[in-house]
Structure 1
């Protein structure tokens, strides 16, 4: 059986989609799963044993580019796919499988995709409250999946594989001082400051950990460099040499290897939080206006701290730096206490 998956365009969503691939591999041991996604996803897909190959989606997020999608689809007509699973809900995401003439094209209804999808599902959000459940349900026939209660228990969670060689290479490149074990911080968030724990709280936690014999690695994209610099600048001078701002300096592939080497991770609600969860690292995840009720970290080694309940529309934060009051209220001492329960004695 050969399946084409049109994958998500965000790190966290891509990580959660692995539960679908794991289910497909369990149900069809001979399945070949190819995932079409942005090229930056390849380091993640290459670490999912269930994925045969990653196919680059060359179009940017939001671009219709009808002619290019037609060309991509027609290039796949002789590939022998029997089914396409379309994970994004957009109209345009269903175009490539349609132009490829794949016999069965499965996905949630989304943006009125009748005709493009011929195995279309109508989503009851209360029946499938978690995003990972919505992805996983697509591994089964429509008649079998009325609610999340119909999914296998336990649901296979995302799990990335990283070799010891890759970990050693990343450590020798970016953190050559192996005298101290290190803790990773993921202080960024794609949305912006309103989903970020304040930099001064990260700095206070970093100081406490450094004085306990750890070193700190800050992960993120180039957009998160400034947040990392603010954390470092808020540290006492004698602690700064043990805090490494790697935001924007590593590739995603290298960041994954370094996170795999961490003894613990502290993260905002972000894509890298889901990477840490899929690597089964001891993880403290900090939530404010966004909710873990929809996209929680999927690991028994994860702890969530959130001081508010319910859904809150994510807007600009409450203070002059854009942080949300619900995240400002999470104190470093509380995070340290939670993290200590996960770390080796």
Structure 2
């Protein structure tokens, strides 16, 4: 059986989609699973053992590029795919499998995709409250899965595989200390400061952790570089904090996160990567909600002081922070992390 997945275009969604790949491989051990996604996804897909091949989607997110999608689909006609599973809900995301003439084309109805998909599912959002459940449901026949209660339990959560040699080589490449445990900070967020824990809280937490004998490594994209610098400037131990935001490739960031003793993160794609690496994780939530896309790990602790979903792109407080995140004090994050590490160490010794 050969399956083509049209994958998501966001880091967190891509990580959650691995649950689908793992489920398909469990159900069909001989299946060959290829994933078409933006080229930046390749480092993640390469660490998913269920994925046979990563195929770069040459069309930018949001672009129709009908002619280019047609040529791409036509080029796949001889690949022998038995089924395509389309994860994004857009009409354009269903075009390549249609043009490729893949016999079975599965996905949620989305943007009125009748005809493009011939195994179309009508989504009851209350029946599948989690995004990961909506992905995994597509691994089964439509008549067999009507709600989350029908899904086999437990779900196969995302699980990246990183070689220990790659962790060691990347730590050496960035000249990080091999004597001190690494606590990773992921202070960025895709939609701006309203989803970010304040830099001054990260700085205060860094001080508490450095005094416990840790080194702090800050992860993120180039646009998170200034946040990382601000954290270090406000810390009382700047020499024990290393800002790698914008300085690593995605592959290097994954290798380093895999080598962390623990990770503290905003609601972000890197948070989902840390969860998939099975690192002890403290996830800090404000206006966004963990009810739909929580970190999928038994070693994750979520801190959130409000309920419900709040569509806020910029908070009303200084620097655009949301008050609910300001209210999460560094001492609470520190205590939560210490309890989490103690629990993980106890479990490991049993």
TM-score bracket, shorter-length normalisation: over 0.9
Aligned counterpart, 1:306: 304
Distance (Å, rounded) in 2 between the aligned partners of 1:259 and 1:276:
6
Mapping for residues 215-230 of structure 1, pairs under 5 Å: 215-230=215-230
Q: How many residues align?
A: 343
1:280 aligns with 2:288: no
1:176 deviation in Å?
3.0
Aligned counterpart, 1:265: 263
1:341 deviation in Å?
1.2
Q: Secondary structure at the match of 2:217?
A: strand
1:343 deviation in Å?
2.2
Distance (Å, rounded) in 1 between the aligned partners of 2:158 and 2:61:
24
Aligned counterpart, 2:240: 242
Aligned counterpart, 2:253: 255
Runs of 4+ more than 6 Å apart? none
Aligned counterpart, 2:135: 135
Aligned counterpart, 2:126: 126
Instruction: Confirm or deny: 8 A CA contact 2:17 2:135 kept in the other structure.
Output: yes
Distance (Å, rounded) in 2 between the aligned partners of 1:221 and 1:235:
21
Aligned counterpart, 1:12: 12
Distance (Å, rounded) in 2 between the aligned partners of 1:212 and 1:5:
45
Deviations 1:45-91 (A, max 9, x none): 00101000100001111011000000100000000001000000001
Distance (Å, rounded) in 1 between the aligned partners of 2:175 and 2:13:
29
Aligned counterpart, 1:144: 144
1:212 deviation in Å?
1.1
Query: Please, which runs of 5 or more residues in structure 2 have no aligned partner?
Result: 346-350
1:324 aligns with 2:322: yes
Distance (Å, rounded) in 2 between the aligned partners of 1:90 and 1:223:
28
Mapping for residues 108-127 of structure 1, pairs under 5 Å: 108-127=108-127
Aligned counterpart, 2:21: 21
Distance (Å, rounded) in 2 between the aligned partners of 1:86 and 1:68:
18
Aligned counterpart, 1:105: 105
1:312 deviation in Å?
1.2
1:313 deviation in Å?
1.4
Aligned counterpart, 1:65: 65
Query: Please, which runs of 5 or more residues in structure 1 have no aligned partner?
Result: none
Q: Secondary structure at the match of 1:90?
A: coil
Aligned counterpart, 1:187: 187
Q: Secondary structure at the match of 1:106?
A: strand
Deviations 1:176-216 (A, max 9, x none): 32221110000001111000000000000001111111000
Deviations 1:257-281 (A, max 9, x none): 0000000100000000000000000
Instruction: Confirm or deny: 8 A CA contact 1:6 1:86 kept in the other structure.
Output: yes
1:101 deviation in Å?
0.3
Instruction: Confirm or deny: 8 A CA contact 2:108 2:121 kept in the other structure.
Output: yes
- TM-score, normalised with respect to structure 1: 0.98
Q: Secondary structure at the match of 2:159?
A: coil
Deviations 1:241-294 (A, max 9, x none): 110000000000000000000001000000000000000000000000000000
Instruction: Confirm or deny: 8 A CA contact 1:187 1:196 kept in the other structure.
Output: yes
1:127 deviation in Å?
0.1
- TM-score, normalised with respect to structure 2: 0.97
Aligned counterpart, 1:2: 2
Aligned counterpart, 1:343: 341
Instruction: Confirm or deny: 8 A CA contact 1:264 1:342 kept in the other structure.
Output: no
Distance (Å, rounded) in 1 between the aligned partners of 2:169 and 2:42:
19
Distance (Å, rounded) in 2 between the aligned partners of 1:93 and 1:86:
7
1:174 deviation in Å?
1.4
